[in-house]
Amino acid sequence: MNDHYQLLIIGGGPAGLAAATTASGQGISCALLDEQPAPGGQIYRSIESVPDTRAQTLGTEYLRGKTLAAAFRESDVEYYPETRVWSLNNGREIGITHKSQSKIITADQILVASGAIERPMPFSGWTLPGVMQAGAGQILFKAAGVIPSDGVVLAGSGPLLLLLAWQYLQLGVDIKVILDVTPLSNHLFALPKLPRALLAHHYLTKGLVYQRDLSRAGVKTKIGASNLQAAGDDLLKSVNYRHLGREHTIETDLLLTHFGVIPHIWLTQSAGCKHQWDNSQQCWRPRHDEWGNTSIEGILVAGDGAGINGARSAEHAGRIAGLQALFELGILTESERNKQAKNDQKWMKADRHIRPFLEAYFAIPQSMLATTDNETIICRCEEITAGQIREAVETGHGGSNDVKYITRCGMGACQGRQCANSVAHIVADAGGEAVSESSHYRGRPPVAPLTLKQLASLTKENRQ
């Protein structure tokens, strides 16, 4: 690994892979760093090694990753899998650990294609063993073919929940019930956005097919379920919820939840890129222009890390950002860049027609974003409850960062990833700072796990 590259790409999902393939063969020094052992990111995890039968269940969208990964493998871009990026600053210095050796490397252009994480959503009992995020269920299946053996309750909101349900149906998993927490009013709010969504109707068709298959198979979906509670002493025993004004309980030892995805912004945040609150996507994302440029020169973003638009859009955005980096490096002229970007810009625009509809349809209700159940743990690392956060706000700690300092909320091992959003919502709900650009925790590196030994390996004597 060099100390300096002309272009560094962080992340091996669709955006990163497409950008790398674009930058290949241009005579520049370029490297792609990724945490995972193989290309694909979360969406195309294990794409190169997945057995055919499993791949079929995962569907045609998943198989798109094959072409992307293959093209990347043929590129001349240096590839560093199993590499953690734990720091990025505004001087375009990146702190990484690869094979237990840490290093600071620099680049002229850095593309952050860090993807998304599942939206953490605290509710009563969410920390009980037996409650998992649906993404974890998908990882287990993609990587190892593992599926729940004793049935499962699925709860939450968003296309992935539906997809996972459909995949489990194909595999014969007993889906006890799907608890869809999106209120019926969402459907009304989403209606005006439907005509535009029809321009990207393949997504709608697919969603309808999933719903039809599930309902034909007798899987019950409770739309507008509320008051979700996971119950049990040390382990999950049952799930409680309210539906159509009545309380229900269903026994289960596994609850998979999904509440949509949000951008992984910890690198751009630690670099000091400007971020904005996206009301429609209910998340923060880095500000960027149509080419992926952030507020810091030479730092670009593409893919879900720049705002949630899905895998196909990520691929286009990755190519566009790759072209932009080549332009900045003086490899392409402005007109060459514009010309080569044209198709991707067009396809990306078409692909995104579905988004406003999806965002309105699957919007998480305010009652979940800012839980009023004071007993619910918000920060799992430090075990801070919603009540403690509200109390901190009431005693004059009116911002997320003040709440963090006084309660230690967000100071644990996950560095606030699990609670940053909820804390901002609860703070706002309790009368503190409104959810805004500045109500996110201030970024504190390292943004990925780093041990004392790994850090010490940076010292001169230890450098290899």
Partner 1 sequence: MNTDVLIIGAGLMGSSIALQLAMRGCKCAVIDKASPGRHASGANAGGLRLLNRDPAEIPLSLEAAKMWHEIESLVDSDCDSRFTGQLRVAENKSDMAKLEERASMVRAMGYQHEEIIGKKELYQLVPALAPHCVGGLLCRQDGYGRPYHAVTAFRRKAESLGVTFQSATEAYTIEQEGKDWKVKTSQGTFNSSIVVNCAGAWSGKIAGMLNESVPLTPKALMLMVTERLPHFVDPVMGAASRKLSFKQMQNGTLIIGGALVAKLDFKKEKTDLDWNQLAESAKTVLHFFPQLQEVRIVRAWAGIEAYMPDNLPVISASQKANNFYHAFGFSAHGFQLSPVIGRIMSQLILDGHSELPIEPFHINRF
Separation of first and last alpha carbons in the chain = 11
CB 361 within 8 A of CB 184: no
- Cα 159 to its chain centre, rounded Å, is 13
Q: Does 438 bind partner 1 (CB under 8 A)?
A: no
Q: Does 446 bind partner 1 (CB under 8 A)?
A: yes
Report the nearest approach of partner 1 to the CB of residue 401 (Å): 8
Which lies closer to partner 1 via its Cβ, residue 271 or residue 428? 271
Which residues, numbered 251-290, are part of the site for partner 1 (CB under 8 A)?
A: 272
Report the nearest approach of partner 1 to the CB of residue 65 (Å): 31
Q: Does 445 bind partner 1 (CB under 8 A)?
A: yes
- Where does this chain touch partner 1 (CB under 8 A) — which range of 282-290, 324-332, 364-372, 449-457? 449-457
What whole-number distance in Å separates Cα of residue 145 and Cα of residue 141?
A: 4
Cα angle 70-72-74, degrees, rounded to a multiple of 5? 75
User: Please, what's the largest Cα pairwise distance for the chain?
Assistant: 67
Q: Does 431 bind partner 1 (CB under 8 A)?
A: no
71: left (phi over 0), alpha (psi -120 to 50) or beta: alpha
Beta bridge partners of 226: 242
What whole-number distance in Å separates Cα of residue 366 and Cα of residue 429?
A: 9
What whole-number distance in Å separates Cα of residue 48 and Cα of residue 443?
A: 35
Site string for partner 1, 82-111 (x = CB under 8 A): -----x-xxx---x------x-x-------
Which residues, numbered 377-396, are part of the site for partner 1 (CB under 8 A)?
A: 396
- Where does this chain touch partner 1 (CB under 8 A) — which range of 27-35, 154-162, 312-320, 453-461? 453-461
421 three-state secondary structure: helix
Q: Does 220 bind partner 1 (CB under 8 A)?
A: no
Beta bridge partners of 104: 95
428 three-state secondary structure: helix
Using the rule CB under 8 A, which residue among 411, 420, 427, 435 binds partner 1?
411
Q: Does 413 bind partner 1 (CB under 8 A)?
A: yes
Q: Does 51 bind partner 1 (CB under 8 A)?
A: no
Q: Does 57 bind partner 1 (CB under 8 A)?
A: no
Which residues, numbered 110-129, are part of the site for partner 1 (CB under 8 A)?
A: none
Report the candidate in 38, 32, 86 with the shortest Cα–Cα distance to residue 318. Answer: 32
Looking at residue 223, the DSSP 8-state letter turns out to be E
Which lies closer to partner 1 via its Cβ, residue 6 or residue 401? 401
Residues in contact with partner 1 by CB under 8 A are 87, 89-91, 95, 102, 104, 272, 396-397, 399, 402, 405-406, 408, 411-413, 415, 444-446, 449-453, 455-459, 462
